[in-house]
């Protein structure tokens, strides 16, 4: 696989460059899920006195030809390679290595060997060992309450946009609200391995019924189709609140939830959208 060849090339180049103290791989290949469509993702720690003058793009290009290297919309530095592979890179100072342990609860890998490409001092292993194991469990009232409240907020926002007639904006918000909806679905079905990106591997992770129901919650930006997707998403949210949220003794804002429903009802009356 091309990506694995590139990973080995990066490993070799890290060893040969004495400015690089440690290198960690994360993402699909670190957890054993990488395939021919996957990105490659690395964190590299540079000697403090070499960091300022370290030319990231030139270094990456020396391993594999790069056609673009830039900060993307997520705050990462992304490399687009000539061979069509995408790479995500984080270059940090050696003195910042302890930050790796703060990824606990978000990132993970099965063994240190699966992720550590280089560790000259052994310090990286000390910090990265906190991430070794199985995917973290997702549980607890504070976590679930945050998801539910964000979902209610997004549904309220979306219902207002629908009634205002900002359909393109409401359509963009719908996919964002589905991140929280899918987290509740995953909690209900106890399939939280891909928690940080809840739509990842959804086709395999969810039951057939839930996946079919999720598809019904998606739509185009056409007003009636979009309204239907919002309404179905809201109805599913209310069901999940009863199954996942309320059992945690979490009190949800009932008055706001009733207002969301009124907004959906008002849109239906205004547009005579009795099509569901």
Q: What is the DSSP string of 45-69?
A: EE-HHHHTT--HHHHHHHHS-EEEE
Contact predicate 187/175, CB 8 Å: no
**pLDDT tens-digit map of 116-132:** 999 999 999 999 999 99
Contact predicate 112/124, CB 8 Å: no
Token pair for 5: 């060849």
Which of 101, 131, 161 delimits the end of a domain?
131
Does one domain contain both 99 and 152? no
Contact predicate 44/92, CB 8 Å: yes
Does one domain contain both 170 and 225? yes
d(Cα 276, Cα 268) in Å, to the nearest integer? 10
d(Cα 113, Cα 192) in Å, to the nearest integer? 24
Does one domain contain both 212 and 237? yes
Residue-number span of the structural domain to which 214 is assigned: 141-271
Contact predicate 210/222, CB 8 Å: no
DSSP state of 197: S
Which of 112, 131, 150 delimits the end of a domain?
131
Neighbours of 89 (CB within 10 A): 19
pTM (predicted TM-score): 0.87
Does one domain contain both 27 and 145? no
Half-sphere exposure of 200 (CA within 13 A, CB side): 12
Does one domain contain both 81 and 163? no
pLDDT of residue 270: 83
Low-confidence ranges of the chain (pLDDT < 50): 273, 275-276
Does one domain contain both 126 and 213? no
Does one domain contain both 248 and 176? yes
How many structural domains compose the chain?
2
pLDDT of residue 202: 95
Q: Which residue has the tokens 């000697």?
A: 47
pLDDT of residue 107: 82
User: Which regions of the chain does DSSP assign to beta strands (E)?
Assistant: 20-26, 40-46, 66-71, 77-81, 86-93, 116-119
Does one domain contain both 155 and 125? no
Does one domain contain both 218 and 261? yes
Token pair for 9: 């090339």
For the chain, the first-to-last Cα distance in angstroms comes to 47
d(Cα 232, Cα 216) in Å, to the nearest integer? 7
Does one domain contain both 230 and 191? yes
84, 105, 138 from 195: Cα distances, Å: 27, 10, 8
Strand partners, 92: 45
Does one domain contain both 65 and 28? yes
């Amino acid at each position: 696989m091309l990506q694995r060849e590139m990973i080995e090339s990066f490993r070799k180049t890290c060893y040969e460059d004495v400015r690089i103290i440690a290198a960690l791989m994360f993402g699909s290949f670190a957890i054993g899920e990488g395939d021919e469509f996957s990105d490659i993702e690395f964190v590299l720690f540079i000697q403090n006195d070499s960091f300022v003058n370290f030319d990231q793009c030139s270094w990456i290009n020396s391993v594999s030809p790069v056609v673009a290297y830039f900060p993307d919309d997520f705050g990462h530095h992304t490399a687009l390679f000539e061979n069509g592979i995408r790479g995500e890179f984080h270059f940090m100072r050696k003195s910042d290595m302890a930050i790796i342990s703060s990824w606990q609860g978000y990132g993970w890998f099965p063994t240190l060997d699966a992720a550590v490409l280089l560790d000259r001092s052994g310090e990286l292993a000390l910090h990265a060992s906190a991430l070794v194991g199985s995917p973290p469990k997702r549980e607890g009232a504070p976590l679930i309450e945050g998801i539910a409240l964000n979902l209610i907020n997004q549904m309220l926002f979306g219902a207002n946009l629908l009634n205002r007639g900002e359909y393109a904006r409401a359509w963009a918000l719908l996919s964002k609200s589905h991140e929280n909806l899918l987290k509740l679905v995953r909690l209900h079905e106890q399939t939280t391995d891909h928690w940080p990106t809840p739509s990842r591997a959804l086709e395999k992770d969810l039951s057939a019924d839930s996946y079919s129901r999720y598809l019904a919650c998606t739509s185009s930006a056409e007003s009636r189709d979009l309204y239907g997707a919002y309404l179905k998403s809201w109805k599913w949210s209310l069901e999940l609140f009863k199954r996942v949220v309320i059992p945690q003794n979490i009190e949800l804002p009932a008055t706001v939830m009733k207002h969301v429903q009124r907004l959906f009802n008002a849109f239906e009356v205004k547009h005579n959208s009795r099509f569901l």
